[in-house]
Structure 1
Amino acid sequence: MDLIAEIRRRHLVSGESITSIARSLKLSRPTVRKHLRTTSSPSYQRRHQPAPKLTEAFQQMLTAWLTAEQTLPKSQRRTAQRLFEGLQVEGYLGSYDCVRRFVKRWKAHNTRPSVTQAFVPLRFAPGEVCQFDWSQEQVDIDGTSQKVKVAHFRLAYSRQMFVVAYPRETQEMLFDAHNRAFAFFGGVPQRMIYDNLKSVVQTILTGKARQFNPRFMALANHYLFEPVACTPASGWEKGQVENQLGNIREWLFTPRPRFASLADLNDWLALRCRELAQRQHPTEDRPIAEVFAQEHNTLRAIAAPFEGYLEEMLRVSGTCLVRVDYNRYSVPAEFAGKAVSVRLTADRLRIVHDRQIIAEHPRQFGRNQLVCNPWHYLPVLEKKPGALRHGAPFIEWDLPAPIRHVKEHLLKQPKGDRAFVELLQLAREAGLEPLQVACELSLETGLVTGAIVMNELRRLLAPPQPSAIHLPESLRLRSEPLADCARYDVLRGGTHGLH
């Protein structure tokens, strides 16, 4: 209507020509003439497209499908596109738009109008409540697109948020997320509100009563917070963090973030949480960061982080390996065939025997991966030095270049594999650095044998000789003996005399 008023004013009041108005407004001259004759708002009528291909038989089929699926959960109902594909299987040759319009009309007449629920506005005291939830996001890690599980924390009073990403949504990840969140907040709130996660709730009882997971209760007892589980299908009981899930997906994961590693992603997420705290608080006339600074003083101080791990008993195989989550990890050879305890954390795997950690590896989340420490197999090489050539732990061993060159020289010599094993045995305690220096010295001479490298390595590992020996005065000789070579002549003469 504003455009019509402008055309009429420019032509009838200012006397501007129809051609000039059409050129400046990028309209056709017939359109300008039509608007000059208009004094009321234009009205439009929706034109309904016929559906010649959607015959009565297909309409009855669609109606039967929609009626049957109306009782199913929304996630299990077919969309108009899936219904269209189903009709195509039955011989339908019409367009998708016909099906979409029919589905829309049917739902408008057969779906009950949604009832808007009423809620009571909530208010929380500083340091009283923190809400928790998981979400699933898509990221690019080292050039590979993958799904990650994101743990969300939100302090209900200050609205301060914290998010951290993990490969999985397991209990050890939950423990690590709490350690990170409480370290980020600088303290622990009085209560934590959760969904009925399996890693949190073991049994749902009547009303609000819950039987919590014993391992999770160890976390709650360590940090001395009260766990609260929501009523099933009642997300509004922790509405702040539920709302945060969508906001975080829009602010931080759209477009898809790209990072070299998961650690880099989590560092960036923590930084963005601090930056987002500069936004205005929804109920107070100051930034979230200032309100959080006030709430921080009411949080309970952290004495020590919780040692959150899952533990299971496994038996070490004959190849000195334990199998965890479809991956294999090496154990020192002396524990082959023995039962060990495997402790899983979010990023590490520790193997324990008699309460002593005997091996530790970075945790892998793929499948069929072999994680070996070559030093674990050194006792086996003492008896089977030939395994040095084709043993998987030694083929993939990333040795320094001088040691690798010496190994190649020795393996071409008779019993060279045993000679290299002896070098490794000597370097086991001192490390690879002295062995690398010994190999460099041997390569400089141009003569590379096991004896020469061993001699250089022993010289490097030998303790330094003292420059001078300082003896106490009581041990000093008052008269030092003099060298007398004539004594040897006397002995020689005496010996001849006996003959």
Structure 2
Amino acid sequence: MSVQENIRTLDSHGIAGREIARRLGVSRDAVAKYTGQQNFSPKPPTPVPRPAGSAVAGFEDTIETWLTEDQRRPRKQRHTAKRVFDRLMNEENYTGSYSPVQRFVRKWNDQHRQAGEGFTELVWPAGTAQVDFGQAEAIIAGIRQILHIFVVTFPFSNMRFVQAYRGETAECVCHGLRTVFDHIGAAPRHLVFDNATGIGRRVGTKVVEAKVFGAFKLHYRSESRFCNPYSGNEKGNVENAVGFLRRNLMVPEPEAATLQGLNDILLTRCMALAETVHYRKGLPVSELFAQDVAASLALPGVGFDPVRYESRTADKKGNILIDGNTYAAGSSFHSRTLTVGLRHDVVEILDEHSAPVRSFPRAFGVQAETIFEPAALLPLLVTKPGAWSHSQLRPLVPEPVRDWLDNATATNRRRLLSAVEAASGSAGFDAAITAADLLIQRGDTPEIAALGMLARRLAGGTSPAVENVDLSVYDVFTTGSFTSLNTLTGEIA
């Protein structure tokens, strides 16, 4: 601008163009250009055409046909520039590079963008929560696992909570919400979901919710809303929070002895985030979150039990099928109609009178083997001891007990299994098997009375000595030379 300004200044003083060029050391053409220019107002930049743009020449109609057909497809199933490039190479013998295709697709999309496309900034009132799931790895009891992280955010304050589960069922959602509600001491008035959180689904204007979630809303008086399909931006706060919490709370992978222990750690770390300053409002998140809590609903006097009850008929072996997995209720329940209670972590089986029968850790994903409680197999083995050799229970017992049962007669095998069954009822299966193992290693006969007493001691935390007690010190009381004992002097009369 300084050279241009000098040319214009000298010209304003009536100096000839040749002289201006001589003084400033510029060409006469430059002097003529800037002295003759009338408008110096700023103009928008003009894009410079990239070279090699003709590489897609002859393929324009094909690309435009594909992109036009995309307008009728869901957004997540439309052509990307990379997909267009791959199809041109595989189907149209395109030999050019990727960049010209990318520029063509970008230009076409820009020219055909609808006026109503894009995102709008949404304003969320206090007392509203958004809910979503993501995935992350963690180490539980030394085992690396892929967990489903349940995230609840409050967009007004940007407060965020996360809990980890092994699935994305309605029971997991309700349990996670209750955990957050109990922790903050309030229930949000409005809950915003998408179509992938397991508690309901929106098709058009119709929303179908899971029964357990319907009961959950009645319990806490909260209202729910589902985003439009493929419109995750309608709950962008929680969408961003899923990635944020995964990067900041789960890198490196957190370790815990149990899943509940991990969730306690995550909840503590979430509360630490409340001390940060809101990225736009300039206030601590904790102060803004206090307004979220104040605008929420008071909790009822009792917490909601997130359980789903269903009816199942056991097969001839006493097994029932739940979510693609087989659970063993017990042979005595064959062909009977039972009730199953599904919680986020437990499957409970109840009989026809709603009395608890069995309880199992809930399995997610398809398990190849039948899920059973070892003690449930004992009654059938007592009746049919010959089935021991191929029983599901055999690989689960320690080697001394397994060898003893393998070599025992049918009568002795029945006696030991009966003793284990009786002890399991009062002390638990693990304590009963451990007691049998100790007795067998001592060389004792595992009778019902001895095994039951030892199992109860083990269940109570008392570990008896393994070695035998030397009773020879009492032989003096059975010898013929013993006559009487002087209790005053301790001497033998």
- Could you tell me which residue of structure 2 aligns to residue 83 of structure 1? 84
- Could you tell me which residue of structure 1 aligns to residue 379 of structure 2? 379
Contact 2:340 2:347 in 1 (8 A): yes
Contact 2:375 2:421 in 1 (8 A): no
CA offset digits 1:392-450 (Å, max 9, x no partner): 1x1342x4x5xx41441342243343343233234233435466446534533x4x556
CA distance in 2, matches of 1:279, 1:441: 60
Closer/same/farther in 2, CA of residues 437 and 133 from structure 1, 3 Å limit:
closer
Closer/same/farther in 2, CA of residues 98 and 140 from structure 1, 3 Å limit:
farther
Closer/same/farther in 2, CA of residues 94 and 181 from structure 1, 3 Å limit:
same
CA distance in 2, matches of 1:435, 1:205: 58
- Could you tell me which residue of structure 2 aligns to residue 103 of structure 1? 105
CA distance in 2, matches of 1:86, 1:284: 48
- Could you tell me which residue of structure 1 aligns to residue 163 of structure 2? 164
- Could you tell me which residue of structure 2 aligns to residue 409 of structure 1? 404
Cα distance, 1:310 vs structure 2: 1.6
Closer/same/farther in 2, CA of residues 102 and 459 from structure 1, 3 Å limit:
closer
For 1:371, what is the secondary structure of its paired residue? coil
Closer/same/farther in 2, CA of residues 214 and 243 from structure 1, 3 Å limit:
same
Cα distance, 1:380 vs structure 2: 1.0
For 1:61, what is the secondary structure of its paired residue? helix
Matched, 1:313 2:307: no
Amino acid at match of 2:425: E
- Could you tell me which residue of structure 2 aligns to residue 135 of structure 1? 133
Mark the runs of 5 or more structure 1 residues left unpaired by the alignment: 1-42, 463-499
Closer/same/farther in 2, CA of residues 140 and 79 from structure 1, 3 Å limit:
farther
- Could you tell me which residue of structure 2 aligns to residue 424 of structure 1? 420
- Could you tell me which residue of structure 1 aligns to residue 30 of structure 2? none
CA distance in 2, matches of 1:237, 1:92: 40
CA distance in 1, matches of 2:113, 2:67: 11
CA distance in 2, matches of 1:212, 1:425: 44
TM-score by length of 2: 0.69
Amino acid at match of 2:107: R
Closer/same/farther in 2, CA of residues 437 and 212 from structure 1, 3 Å limit:
closer
CA distance in 1, matches of 2:60, 2:280: 52
Closer/same/farther in 2, CA of residues 160 and 339 from structure 1, 3 Å limit:
same
Counterpart mapping for 1:92-491 below 5 A: 92-112=94-114, 121=123, 123-124=125-126, 129-139=127-137, 148-155=147-154, 158-195=157-194, 214-228=211-225, 240-241=237-238, 243-245=240-242, 247-252=244-249, 257=253, 259=255, 262-263=259-260, 265-281=262-278, 286-293=283-290, 296=293, 299-353=297-351, 354-367=353-366, 368-392=368-392, 394-397=393-396, 399=397, 401=398, 404-415=399-410, 416-431=412-427, 433=431, 436-437=434-435, 439-444=437-442, 446=443, 449=445, 453-454=447-448, 456-457=450-451
TM-score by length of 1: 0.68
User: What percent identity do the matched residue pairs reach?
Assistant: 27
Cα distance, 1:225 vs structure 2: 3.0
Cα distance, 1:186 vs structure 2: 2.0
CA distance in 2, matches of 1:203, 1:74: 17
Cα distance, 1:239 vs structure 2: 5.7
Closer/same/farther in 2, CA of residues 96 and 292 from structure 1, 3 Å limit:
closer
CA distance in 2, matches of 1:45, 1:156: 39
Contact 1:175 1:219 in 2 (8 A): yes
Contact 1:150 1:166 in 2 (8 A): yes
Cα distance, 1:356 vs structure 2: 0.8
Amino acid at match of 1:348: V
Closer/same/farther in 2, CA of residues 429 and 122 from structure 1, 3 Å limit:
closer
CA distance in 2, matches of 1:240, 1:257: 24
Alignment coverage as a number of residue pairs: 404
For 1:93, what is the secondary structure of its paired residue? coil
Cα distance, 1:296 vs structure 2: 4.7
Amino acid at match of 2:220: Y
CA distance in 1, matches of 2:113, 2:286: 45
Q: Once superposed, what is the RMSD of the aligned Cα atoms?
A: 4.0
Closer/same/farther in 2, CA of residues 257 and 79 from structure 1, 3 Å limit:
farther
Between 435-444 and 231-240, the greater mean CA deviation after superposition: 231-240
CA offset digits 1:62-121 (Å, max 9, x no partner): 232223224433311111111111111222233222322332333344445676776675
CA distance in 2, matches of 1:461, 1:239: 56
Cα distance, 1:160 vs structure 2: 2.8
CA distance in 2, matches of 1:439, 1:245: 49
Cα distance, 1:198 vs structure 2: 8.4
Between 65-74 and 343-352, the greater mean CA deviation after superposition: 65-74
CA offset digits 1:317-339 (Å, max 9, x no partner): 22221111121112133212100
Amino acid at match of 1:154: T
CA distance in 2, matches of 1:156, 1:104: 33
Contact 2:130 2:237 in 1 (8 A): no
Cα distance, 1:164 vs structure 2: 2.0
